[in-house]
Amino acid sequence: QSALTQPPSASGSLGQAVTIPCTGASVDVGGYSSVSWYQLHPGKAPRLLLYEATKRPSGVPARFSGSKSGTTASLTVSGLQAEDEAVYYCSSYTGSTNWVFGGGTSLTVL
Amino acid sequence: EVQLVESGGGLVQPGGSLRLSCEASGFTFSDYWMHWVRQTPGGGLVWVSLISNDGTSITYPESVKGRFTISRDNAKDTLYLHMNSLRDEDTGVYYCARHLAYSFDYWGQGALVTVSS
């Protein structure tokens, strides 16, 4: 059982937008701005999409955006493309030098 | 281009030991804190350990404390994870990852560790 809760699956049509929530608690998501999101394609290295809830590293398209309210963070993928089909994980720093992850959301592009 | 390449994975019996390595290139390795993260067979991600850029600060979750040791050789641009007293639940793909602002900004492709009799 993961510390952060994500829906196991999500889907959206090409060109549409989809939002993936990540629910935690006051000791993790609610207590820190250090929420990050990752994209995993099978056989490839995981890719950082967002850090500090809303910041995009260089090279990540603006189609990927994030938000956080209370104990829930969200990743929105706009203008869905076929290559966005992957598993997405959220993560949060929890203090005391510890990190937790969500269980992952498998995104299907229809 | 930042690259992290893990090696040393394999099949080991419960109670056994294994050492993973992660060779870094494309950045100044000695400037960065580094992590190990495991992906379980069920797909979940688990943080395993963190080491400071100079190796003087190290932390682990309770699940591996006393069994795993993270270390680094900045002269060789290499990160290590020594794993002892391995358990079935330690099975998974182990990734090394670079630390950035309480996140993991670059990851390797992972090394598979299977603990089974």
SS3 track for chain A: CCCEECCCEEEECCCCCEEEEEECCCCCCCCCCCEEEEEECCCCCCEEEEECCCECCCCCCCCEEEEEECCEEEEEECCCCHHHCEEEEEEEECCCCCEEEECCEEEEEC
| pLDDT (0 to 100) of residue A81 | 97
**Separation of alpha carbons B72 and B55, rounded Å:** 7
CA-based nearest distance A103→chain B, Å: 5
B23 CB neighbours in chain A (<8 A) are none
CA-based nearest distance B35→chain A, Å: 11
**Separation of alpha carbons B98 and A109, rounded Å:** 30
Using the Cβ of B54 and the Cβ atoms of chain A, whether some distance falls under 8 Å is answered with: no
Using the Cβ of B107 and the Cβ atoms of chain A, whether some distance falls under 8 Å is answered with: yes
Q: Which of residues 62-91 of B touch A (CB under 8 A)?
A: none
Using the Cβ of A58 and the Cβ atoms of chain B, whether some distance falls under 8 Å is answered with: no
Mutate to test the interface with B, among A37, A91, A98, A99 (most CBs of B within 10 A): A99
Per-residue pLDDT of chain B (117 residues; tens, 9 = 90+): 999 999 999 999 999 999 999 999 999 999 999 999 999 999 999 999 999 999 999 999 999 999 999 999 999 999 999 999 999 999 999 999 999 999 999 999 999 999 999
Q: Cβ–Cβ of A51/B43 closer than 8 Å? A: no
Using the Cβ of A60 and the Cβ atoms of chain B, whether some distance falls under 8 Å is answered with: no
Using the Cβ of A103 and the Cβ atoms of chain B, whether some distance falls under 8 Å is answered with: yes
A57 CB neighbours in chain B (<8 A) are 100, 105
| pLDDT (0 to 100) of residue A26 | 85
Scan for tokens 């056994």, then name that residue.
B16
CA-based nearest distance B65→chain A, Å: 13
CA dihedral angle for residue B57, residue B34, residue A66, residue A9, rounded to 10 degrees: -120
Residue ranges of chain A whose pLDDT lies below 70: 1-2
